[in-house]
């Protein structure tokens, strides 16, 4: 029996992963702001579901919930950091609270969770840490800048961290889905565009459910299978839209860099050149 610790388990991919893991016969330690939202799963799966209240913007709650999860379950094999939120709007138009709240939830919360999970995973001899990222950690869309800031930050942090904790037997996996048909988009805040941005790139229509090729059940299943594999990948890019968009963007970025090779190398020399005597 595999035991999973899943944050943000109230809805979307987090809930789907919890339900799929329980259906497999596994045990799930689920954290969410309102544990009663999983009453139906508790009734169905009994004591294989452990629940705790957690707001990932509260470091004290992260410390307490993580310690309790490891103490009250024999072992945590996979930690899934899934909690997150989105804000649609031009970067200038967002309030300070929206900027700080998104960073606190999507980036700082993820960092603080893994920092507190590492000592427990190390003490038990290893495990897997799964961080939900997005194709938005590689590419960007106007009107979603603060979300991209958090996901690009997550990508950099966890790539560096993976090398640091691998000697302890801890594997790290970044899951990068495309546009998934979840309640995430419904729950995301929408900030009205100020006049200067109307009709510009940030004024593009938001994606509709019909435009989203990815299903949360498919993403959850693929994530579970990869996390339980013998060698979980550092990055798990999922869904056809993500694959096409990310690979195309990376190829274009590489071509642009190669076109500036001479300028890059020229900066190695002292500039401007010293005057000859």
44 is catalytic: no
197 is catalytic: no
171 is catalytic: no
**Between the CA of residue 5 and those of 35, 40, 52, 138, what are the distances in Å?**
14, 18, 10, 26
DSSP state of 168: G
Question: What is the SS3 string spanning 90-115?
Answer: CCCCCCHHHHHHHHHHHHHHHHHHHH
Distance of CA 146 to the CA centre of its chain: 14
Non-local (6+) Cβ contacts of 84 within 8 A are 8, 105, 106, 132, 150, 184
**Of 151, 171, 185, 197, which is the active-site residue?**
151
**Of 81, 134, 147, 197, which is the active-site residue?**
147
**Of 10, 81, 133, 134, which is the active-site residue?**
133
Q: Which two tokens stand for residue 53?
A: 């209240």
Active site residues: 133, 147, 151
């Amino acid at each position: 029996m595999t035991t999973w610790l899943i944050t943000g388990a109230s809805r979307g991919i987090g809930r789907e992963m919890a339900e799929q893991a329980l259906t497999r016969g596994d045990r799930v330690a689920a954290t969410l702001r309102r544990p009663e939202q999983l009453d139906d799963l508790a009734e169905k799966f009994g004591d294989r579901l452990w629940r705790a209240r957690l707001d990932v913007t509260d470091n004290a709650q992260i410390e307490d919930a993580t310690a309790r999860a490891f103490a009250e379950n024999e072992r945590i094999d996979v930690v899934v950091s899934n909690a997150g939120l989105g804000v649609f709007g031009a970067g200038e138009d967002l309030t300070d609270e929206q900027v700080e709240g998104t960073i606190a939830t999507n980036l700082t919360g993820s960092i603080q969770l893994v920092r507190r999970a590492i000592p427990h995973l190390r003490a038990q001899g290893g495990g897997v840490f799964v961080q939900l990222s997005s194709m938005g950690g590689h590419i960007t869309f106007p009107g979603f800048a603060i979300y991209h800031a958090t996901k690009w930050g997550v990508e950099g942090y966890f790539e560096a961290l993976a090398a640091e904790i691998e000697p302890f037997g801890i594997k790290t996996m970044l899951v990068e889905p495309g546009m998934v048909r979840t309640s995430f988009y419904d729950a995301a805040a929408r900030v009205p565009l100020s006049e200067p941005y109307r009709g510009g790139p940030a004024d593009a229509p938001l994606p509709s459910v019909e435009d989203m090729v990815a299903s949360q059940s498919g993403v959850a299943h693929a994530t579970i299978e990869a996390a339980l594999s013998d060698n979980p990948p550092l990055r798990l890019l999922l869904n056809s839209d993500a694959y096409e968009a990310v690979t195309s963007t990376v190829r274009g970025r590489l071509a642009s860099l190669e076109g500036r090779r001479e300028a890059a190398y020229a900066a190695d020399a002292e500039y401007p050149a010293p005057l000859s005597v």
